[in-house]
Structure 1
Amino acid sequence: MAKETGRKLVAQNKKARHDYAIIDTYEAGLVLTGTEVKSLRQGRASLVDGFVQLDGNEAWLHNVHVPEYSQGTWTNHSARRKRKLLLHRAEIDKLESKSGESGLAIVPLALYFKDGRAKIEIALARGKKEYDKRQTLREKQDRRETDRAVSAVRRKQQHG
């Protein structure tokens, strides 16, 4: 079998980018069973309710849904089990010191394969208030309208 290269996205957590202001991101490896890897290779996972909890010197991923592998037998995994994250000691210490602050959480942003290995992008994030979410949406719409107007003017200049 040829060695895999590049990055293949399995799942993204768009809700996290909407609900949280991202402060810092980290890439972590995952400790998985064989059936979990097979299920992920089929592109099946959900990060929506996921969060990371630091327990001593270890980081654990909770509430991430990886469905059971369809061809799996008695060796199949449970869909929402907690999974250990592989991070450097310095990264865990940094996350531990920062996550103690009020209002900060560690959330998963993306799950992907990088050079054949399952990786997860996690972020230290601060929860947004409702008005922050509305303001972000308004800014996005304004930017879109401006881009649309600029492209219309350019189109007119080219054809006119």
Structure 2
Amino acid sequence: MADNELAFAPLLAPLLDALEQRLHQRVEDMHQELNQKIDDLDRKVDEVRELSLKTHIAFVTHHNTVFCDTINLLQVPFPNGVFPWGREVDGPDSTRVVIPELSSIDSVKNLTMAEAFGYFKGYHPSTPMPPDLRTRKTEILVALGRRQEVTMGALERD
């Protein structure tokens, strides 16, 4: 019986090799298909994340515009999704600065030059930095949804 099995071995070897190649190719095809599906899913998750961030920013700026008084502002994330309160960010002249909570108009009024630099760069990363502190604070108020404070001169009042 062992001789019969050995007699079939040369006949089975090419069939087994062909089967192994087909299985290998099939696994490779499935691997590529799975990677493509993962890439598609990653793209969709990124799109949902971007839409969610834009929606959240729109919601909190609208809330700050319509529903909040001057002492209860909601935190508005930067366009890149970073929530800024208490974060260490790039400051002027390659320094780092911890930016404070901006929960009121007064907290915006009290920003230092370095803190206003960090907030302005966060909200407007591709816009040239205004040289004066007042313009930076004005743009920060607008980013927070408080245009009415800008038009009513809130930065001029003490």
TM-score bracket for this pair, using the shorter chain length: under 0.3
**TM-score (norm. length: structure 2):** 0.23
Structure with more helix by fraction? 2
Structure with more strand by fraction? 1
Instruction: Please tell me whether Structure 1 or Structure 2 has the larger radius of gyration of its CA atoms.
Output: 2
Relative contact order, CA 8 A, sep 6+: which one is greater? 1
